[in-house]
Amino acid sequence: MSGSVTTSVALPKPLEITVRFLVAGAAVLWLGGVFERAIVESSLPLVRAVFEFVDDDFTVLGLDVAHEGANETLRLKADYSHPIYLEGVGTFIYPMNLDPRTAGWLQVNLTVGGLLQYGLLMLIVVLAWPARGIREMLVRLGLSLPLLAVFLLVAAISTLLAELWNPLHQDFAPQEFWPLLAWSRFLMGGGGAMLALVIAGAAIRWSSPYRLTRD
Residue 10 confidence (pLDDT): 58
State pLDDT tens for residues 3-38.
544 455 556 778 888 999 999 999 999 999 899 999
Query: What is the CB neighbour count within 10 angstroms for residue 135?
Result: 11
- Average per-residue pLDDT for the chain: 86
Residue 84 confidence (pLDDT): 85
Residue 5 confidence (pLDDT): 46
Q: Whole-model pTM above 0.95?
A: no
pLDDT band for 186, please (50, 70, 90 cuts): very high
CA distance between the termini of the chain: 6
Long-range pairs for 170-177: beta carbons < 8 A, 24 or more residues apart:
172/86, 172/88, 172/89, 172/91, 173/86, 173/88, 173/89, 176/88
State pLDDT tens for residues 151-180.
999 999 999 999 999 988 888 877 778 888
Query: Across the strands, what pairs with 86?
Result: 91
Query: What is the CB neighbour count within 10 angstroms for residue 74?
Result: 23
pLDDT band for 215, please (50, 70, 90 cuts): very low
Residue 212 confidence (pLDDT): 35
State pLDDT tens for residues 34-62.
999 999 999 999 999 999 999 999 999 99
Residue 183 confidence (pLDDT): 93
